[in-house]
Amino acid sequence: MEAYLEKSLEEWKEDISEVLAQINHEYEEVARELKVYTYKYGITKQVIQSTVNEEIIENIREMYHKPFEEKYTDLKEYIRDLDEKRKVFQMFVNKIDEVKRKESPRTSLADDFK
């Protein structure tokens, strides 16, 4: 592979890898927050199911359950989007590596007999 081409691909891969690292970092943060809201949403749901008093149930729904459910749903959607971005940018890295591998200099039979 020509040096200029290899250098260009490597620089592009570094740029893509930086974006991928940022996406991975954000994904981990969102995953942690999603875990928190998974518990909050699940706990409030269980408490509501175990409560008989309709007034208390409605208060719990308004104060906790609905906001937790909304945040949980938003985070699930956001993490799906981040996961898709991760896959796409990882594909860039894989394709660049694949091209570099295919284009790397191969030794010829003549080189083997020198």
Entry pTM: 0.78
**Which tokens in the block code for residue 61?**
């729904």
* Whole-number pLDDT of residue 102: 86
Centre a 10 Å sphere on the Cβ of residue 23 and count the other Cβ atoms it contains. Answer: 20
Whole-number Å distance between alpha carbons of 9 and 26: 26
**Averaged over 68-95, what is the pLDDT?**
97
**Averaged over 75-99, what is the pLDDT?**
96
Q: Tens digit of pLDDT for each residue in 1-40?
A: 788 888 999 999 999 999 999 999 999 999 999 999 999 9
Cα 63 to Cα 6, 28, 46, 57, 113, distances in angstroms:
58, 28, 15, 10, 80
At 105, the pLDDT band (50, 70, 90 cuts) reads low
Burial 49-70 (b: 16+ CB within 10 A, else e): eeeeeeeebeebeeebbeebbe
The proportion of the chain whose per-residue pLDDT surpasses 70, expressed as a percent, equals: 91
Whole-number Å distance between alpha carbons of 62 and 57: 9
- For residue 85, pLDDT over 90 is answered with yes
Burial 73-108 (b: 16+ CB within 10 A, else e): eebeeebeebeebeeebeebbeebeeeeeeeeeeee
**Averaged over 55-83, what is the pLDDT?**
97
